[in-house]
Amino acid sequence: MTASTTTRATEIVLPGPVEPDELQVRARDLPPPGQGQVVLRMEATGVSFAEQQMRLGKYYDQPPFPFVPGYDVVGTVVATGPGVDSALTGRRFAAVVKTGGWASHLHVDAADLVAVPAGVEPAAAETVLVNGVTAWQMLHRSASVATGGTVVVLGANGGVGSTLVQLARHAGLRVIGTASPRHHDAVRALGATPLDYRDPALYEKLRGLAPDGVDAVFDHVGGDGLKQSWRLLRRGGTLVNYGSASTKDEKGNALLPLLALFGRLWAWNHLPNGKSATFYNFWAGKRRIDAFRARLAGDMTQVLRLIANGAIEPQIAARIPLERTADALRLAESRTVLGKVVIVGGTT
Ligand SMILES: NC(=O)c1ccc[n+]([C@@H]2O[C@H](COP(=O)([O-])OP(=O)(O)OC[C@H]3O[C@@H](n4cnc5c(N)ncnc54)[C@H](OP(=O)(O)O)[C@@H]3O)[C@@H](O)[C@H]2O)c1
């Protein structure tokens, strides 16, 4: 396809803070790709916690309505714009786009494309884009736990959590993972010791499993439990906080609970007890875009390779066609799934 051709695209639009049933399906002619862009034919995208919050208008970096959600995407290049090597056409890539992925075709900056290794199917790759990079960077850049250490992963059944458990096991760490009892067998199969996060004796049990403290806790729940996560650390240990799921339903500005978190982490970090606390942000460093892209591509490639060689198993909760995106969102929000709900595209 030449750069001047338009492409008919089907897009899923979030018109405002609505129920999943009220998502809109729109067909439109996608203009030819601009300078430095490609048209990607979507093969897999997905639902993460971010889209669940965006649907409610409560994402910390909420895009203005109406918009097409879809944080990350896997697809094949079908057209290239000016300044882009036309040899990319026909090749499969992944990208983290923050919005726009819930579409049959979309424009993506060629500089954001990361090659998907041969043999990795689109839905499998999709499970480790934003989730895989988040898990990898928290484990290897924020915490850096030496082989043989012990870590705690809250939400071990989630999209990020189930990948993090596997990356930690692959790095030779002992993992304790929290999840609802319905997921305990699966969490055990990933290599972690499961505990119920609703158990009132959770922290007692965690201390029982690691009486000398743990090397890292990965906490996306925040709230009052964050103090308990901090207390679990041994001297030299790291608390990596990366969200505030416990306050997700609170009314008001979605940034306020995060600001409270930052204050807490900052204060703990200055205590003379050898522990450290950090907030992980996927988009940190984005202002230095070349360095950001290089780090992102390098880390995503590492995780995709682990999928390619079977070292980690993609956790696909379901595959749902684009036109049934409302079902995908409902399923992801049901709080019953393990891994990532993947939305799949067509073949043309
Ligand atoms: N900081 C960053 O840059 C960054 C990047 C990516 C993701 N994140 C964060 O990572 C988290 C996970 O994202 P995801 O896409 O993997 O979500 P997901 O697949 O929906 O998984 C969410 C996990 O959190 C658990 N959970 C939800 N609410 C909870 C609560 N109130 N108390 C305890 N556990 C709770 C869920 O357990 P159930 O299944 O039992 O409900 C599930 O294990 C989100 O909070 C997201 O904001 C942050």
What's the CA-to-centroid distance between 156 and ligand 1, angstroms? 9
Q: Which of 126, 160, 261 to mutate to test the pocket of ligand 1 (most atoms within 8 A of CB)?
A: 160
For 49-53, which contacts have Cβ atoms below 8 Å and span 24 or more sequence positions?
49/158, 49/159, 49/220, 49/243, 49/245, 50/98, 50/130, 51/329, 51/332, 52/329, 52/332, 52/333, 53/248, 53/254
Cα separation of 125 and 5, whole Å?
29
- Say how many residues make up the chain: 348
**71 to 63, 100, 187, 223: CA distances (angstroms):** 12, 7, 25, 25
Ligand 1 closest atom vs CA 284: 3
What's the CA-to-centroid distance between 242 and ligand 1, angstroms? 9
pLDDT for the residue numbered 271: 87
**Ligand 1 touching residue 220 (CB < 6 A):** yes
Judged by DSSP in three states, 215 sits in strand
Q: Are 68 and 105 in contact (CB under 8 A)?
A: no
What's the CA-to-centroid distance between 310 and ligand 1, angstroms? 25
φ and ψ at residue 58, rounded to 5 degrees: -120, 15
**Ligand 1 touching residue 282 (CB < 6 A):** yes
Ligand 1 closest atom vs CA 155: 43
Cα separation of 234 and 224, whole Å?
20
**Ligand 1 touching residue 134 (CB < 6 A):** yes
Helical ranges in the chain per DSSP H: 49-55, 122-126, 130-137, 159-170, 184-189, 202-209, 225-232, 255-269, 289-308, 325-333
Ligand 1 atom 28: residue of nearest CA: 245
What's the CA-to-centroid distance between 309 and ligand 1, angstroms? 27
Q: ω into residue 66 within 30 of 0, thus cis?
A: yes
**Ligand 1 touching residue 194 (CB < 6 A):** no
Q: Are 268 and 239 in contact (CB under 8 A)?
A: yes
DSSP bridge partners of 37:
109
Ligand 1 closest atom vs CA 130: 6
Ligand 1 closest atom vs CA 131: 6
Helices 255-269/225-232 angle, 10° precision: 30
**Ligand 1 touching residue 131 (CB < 6 A):** yes
Task: Provide the residue type at 224 as one letter.
Answer: D
**Ligand 1 touching residue 243 (CB < 6 A):** yes
Helical ranges in 18-147 per DSSP H: 49-55, 122-126, 130-137
Q: 101: which 2 tokens?
A: 């992925």
**Ligand 1 touching residue 161 (CB < 6 A):** yes
Ligand 1 atom 30: residue of nearest CA: 246
Cα separation of 143 and 141, whole Å?
6
The pairing of beta strand 105-109 with beta strand 92-96: unpaired
What's the CA-to-centroid distance between 197 and ligand 1, angstroms? 13
Determine how many CB atoms are found less than 10 A away from the CB of residue 8. Answer: 11
Q: 309: which 2 tokens?
A: 């060689």
φ and ψ at residue 112, rounded to 5 degrees: -95, 0
Q: What is the pLDDT along the chain (348 residues), one digit of tens a residue?
A: 555 678 999 999 999 999 999 999 999 999 999 999 999 999 999 999 999 999 999 999 999 999 999 999 999 999 999 999 999 999 999 999 999 999 999 999 999 999 999 999 999 999 999 999 999 999 999 998 999 999 999 999 999 999 999 999 999 999 999 999 999 999 999 999 999 999 999 999 999 999 999 999 999 999 889 999 999 999 999 999 999 999 877 777 877 878 888 888 999 988 888 999 999 999 999 999 999 999 999 999 999 999 999 999 999 999 999 999 999 999 999 999 999 999 999 766
Q: Are 232 and 210 in contact (CB under 8 A)?
A: yes
**Ligand 1 touching residue 184 (CB < 6 A):** no
Q: Which of 47, 49, 281 to mutate to test the pocket of ligand 1 (most atoms within 8 A of CB)?
A: 49
The DSSP 8-state label assigned to residue 154 in this structure reads S
